[in-house]
């Protein structure tokens, strides 16, 4: 990537062809760039007291097999001290397919929980107070459907909409860029994204309507500065689209959240979070001029890195996770998931999941670091690295803006190319041993003991499919057909789709049926690879 010219750096600003001018970051030696925590540009944290006032949310990502089994894991984690839920959905659910769809064969419940209908969502949250627990749902293309199911079940359990708190990922751009679990063309996907944002703004004010994810792009191979840049560029695009669709910046920005990975380079990762906070403040404040201070505060969830976990010497992963988690905490995360040490081998066992949670609890309760706000702040190495990451990320964002913004770059495979090139370079470094990985190319042991992850019962998927078929046979077909017809009419107009989808799930329409209507009306799309 081209860096800023010397002239641009000296005059303190840089220009984007779209007409937006963003102030360049001041050098770390300037006291104004090191404001107190809780004050712009939020380099040192978004709250004055940080963890002295409120600990980060311990939100372990979980989901496998059936709603019943995942509910058991949720309740075990809550009993062990977890303070928020995070749902992993299986591949068919993420693609808007029912369990009995032929395309779902062999994938039901394999890498997350299978959700087909309101009955599954009821079972998933059995015995859990949805009005008091914060729930994060990692779902994108069918985000409207899964939020509708959540809302419907919460209302059945007596929770009011203004009580509901949590996050739906709802970040489709990164699916086109790095993950591939998209369904609809970009423009139609963005309509669904903004419809959900608008509906929550008017009906569920505590719900985070979108979580812009750098995590998946980082896991796919991009660097720390690229993770910041690609994530914030996507967030800028979503903000522009929401405003284009009639919302004000202060209507939605306070409920936007971010999701980052935390890798092994301790100093770089802690600095990355500080850099992202400051850069987001400067970008959003300059272009959108919000009046609510929360609109320009970058709130984020962190997950320790899955790609750094090794099948070789898997116990070492527990140490990697602990250091990554500590880096995220020192960087000021609001929410944290710590991976289990056995995830390179399979789904985490109950014991390994509990150890991952205990890792967070030890950091919170035994190390004493929660007594300090931005304890790394002022370190020359940290401040220098923070400034460098801001500068490098700005340069990439400038390139994206020159090409017309995040969406146009997606269509041209610009971000995809960046990630592929970075991933290849990282693999090359591991292969030539210029980057060492203990147990893989350094300190290799022969004859390592075998470890085994969680073994799933294949009969659970068969039972799940059978129950779905029975449900479809016993429900009111006319009610289902009428609700889907209303959804189809909604798609053909410019009406918000959320009310129609909520009505459909209450009528027992399935995830697959709802998204089949959306496919028929919106079409599908294949993204360029960037190769």
Q: What confidence tens digit (pLDDT) does each residue in 144-184 have?
A: 999 999 999 999 999 999 999 999 999 999 999 999 999 99
pLDDT of residue 390: 98
User: Is 277:43 a contact under the CB 8 Å cutoff?
Assistant: yes
Range in 26-40, 106-120, 130-144, 506-520 the model is least confident about: 26-40
Place of tokens 């909409």: 161
Could you tell me which residue, 454 or 102, shows the higher pLDDT? 102
Sign of CA pseudo-dihedral 250, 251, 254, 258: negative
pLDDT of residue 5: 32
Residues 6 or more apart in contact with residue 485 via CB below 8 angstroms:
none
What mean pLDDT do residues 55-62 have?
93
Distance CA 171, CA 174 (A): 6
pLDDT of residue 531: 61
In this predicted structure, the answer to whether residue 314 has a pLDDT above a threshold of 50 is: yes
Residue 66's Cα: distance from chain center in Å? 23
In this predicted structure, the answer to whether residue 324 has a pLDDT above a threshold of 70 is: yes
CA nearest 45: which of 280, 373, 450? 373
Band (pLDDT 50/70/90 cuts) for residue 16 is: very low
Pick the CATH number of 6-431 from 3.30.70.1350, 3.30.43.10, 3.30.200.20, 3.20.20.240: 3.20.20.240
**Separation in Å, CA 128 to CA 60, 122, 125, 131, 205:** 16, 10, 5, 9, 21
CA nearest 398: which of 236, 519, 244? 236
What mean pLDDT do residues 14-32 have?
40
pLDDT of residue 27: 41
What mean pLDDT do residues 456-478 have?
93
* Each residue's pLDDT tens digit, 114-150: 999 999 999 999 999 999 999 999 999 999 999 999 9
Distance CA 411, CA 294 (A): 32
E strands of 287-343, at which residues? 300-304, 335-337
Q: What percent of the chain has pLDDT over 90?
A: 88
Structure tokens at 123: 């079972």
Distance CA 449, CA 444 (A): 13
In this predicted structure, the answer to whether residue 18 has a pLDDT above a threshold of 50 is: no
Query: Residue ranges of the alpha helices (H) in 6-90?
Result: 6-11, 67-79
Count Cβ atoms below 10 Å from residue 117 Cβ, excluding itself: 23
* Each residue's pLDDT tens digit, 392-433: 999 999 999 999 999 999 999 999 999 999 999 999 999 999
Domain positions in the chain:
6-431
Place of tokens 């894991």: 73
Q: Is the overall model pTM greater than 0.95, yes or no?
A: no
CA nearest 504: which of 490, 523, 492? 490
Residue 139's Cα: distance from chain center in Å? 9
pLDDT of residue 10: 31
Q: ω before 41 within 30° of 0 (cis)?
A: yes
**Separation in Å, CA 31 to CA 26, 27, 375, 378:** 9, 9, 17, 10
* Each residue's pLDDT tens digit, 194-242: 999 999 999 999 999 999 999 999 999 999 999 999 999 999 999 999 9
CA nearest 263: which of 229, 307, 231, 233? 307
């Amino acid at each position: 990537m081209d860096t800023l010219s010397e002239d641009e750096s000296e005059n303190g600003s840089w220009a984007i062809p779209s007409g937006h001018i963003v102030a360049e970051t001041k050098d770390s030696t300037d006291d104004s760039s090191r404001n107190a925590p809780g004050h712009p540009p939020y380099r040192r944290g978004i709250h004055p007291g940080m963890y002295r006032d409120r600990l980060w949310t311990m939100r372990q990502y979980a989901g496998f097999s059936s709603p019943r089994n995942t509910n058991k894991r949720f309740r075990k984690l809550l009993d062990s001290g977890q303070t928020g839920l995070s749902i992993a959905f299986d591949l068919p659910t993420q693609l808007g397919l029912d369990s009995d769809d032929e395309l779902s064969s062999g994938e039901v419940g394999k890498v997350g929980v299978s959700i087909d209908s309101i009955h599954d969502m009821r079972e998933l949250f059995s015995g859990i107070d949805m009005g008091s627990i914060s729930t994060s749902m990692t779902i994108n293309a069918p985000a409207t459907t899964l939020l509708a199911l959540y809302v419907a079940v919460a209302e059945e359990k007596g929770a009011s909409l203004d009580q509901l708190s949590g996050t739906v990922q709802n970040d489709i751009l990164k699916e086109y860029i790095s993950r591939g679990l998209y369904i609809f063309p970009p423009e139609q996907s963005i309509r669904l994204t903004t419809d959900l944002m608008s509906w929550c703004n008017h009906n569920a004010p505590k719900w985070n309507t979108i979580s812009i994810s750098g995590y998946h792009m980082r896991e796919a191979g991009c660097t720390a500065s690229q993770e910041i840049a690609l994530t914030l560029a996507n967030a800028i695009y979503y903000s522009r689209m929401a405003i284009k669709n009639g919302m004000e910046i202060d209507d939605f920005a306070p409920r936007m959240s971010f999701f980052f990975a935390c890798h092994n380079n301790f100093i770089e990762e802690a600095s990355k979070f500080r850099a992202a906070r400051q850069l987001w403040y400067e970008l959003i404040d300059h272009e959108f001029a919000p009046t609510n201070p929360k609109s320009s505060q970058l709130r984020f969830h962190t997950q320790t890195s899955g790609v750094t976990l090794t099948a070789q010497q898997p116990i070492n992963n527990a140490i990697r996770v602990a250091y990554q988690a500590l880096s995220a905490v020192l960087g000021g995360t609001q929410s944290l998931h710590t991976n289990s040490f056995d995830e390179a081998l399979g789904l985490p066992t109950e014991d390994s999941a509990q150890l991952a949670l205990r890792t967070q609890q030890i950091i919170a309760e035994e190390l004493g670091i929660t007594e300090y706000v931005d304890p790394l702040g002022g370190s020359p190495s940290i401040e220098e690295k923070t400034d460098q990451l801001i500068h490098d990320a700005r340069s990439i964002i400038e390139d994206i803006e020159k090409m017309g913004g995040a969406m146009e770059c997606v269509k041209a495979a610009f971000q995809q190319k960046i990630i592929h090139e970075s991933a290849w370079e990282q693999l090359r470094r591991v292969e030539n041993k210029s980057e060492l990985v203990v147990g893989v190319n350094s300190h290799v042991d022969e004859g390592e003991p075998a470890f085994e992850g969680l073994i799933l019962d294949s009969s659970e998927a068969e039972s799940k499919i059978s129950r779905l078929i029975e449900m479809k046979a016993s429900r009111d077909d006319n009610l289902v057909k009428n609700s889907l017809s209303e959804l189809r009419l909604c798609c053909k107009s410019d009406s918000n789709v959320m009310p129609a989808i909520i009505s459909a799930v209450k009528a027992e329409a399935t995830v697959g049926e709802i998204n089949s209507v959306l496919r028929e009306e919106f079409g599908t799309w294949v993204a360029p690879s960037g190769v």
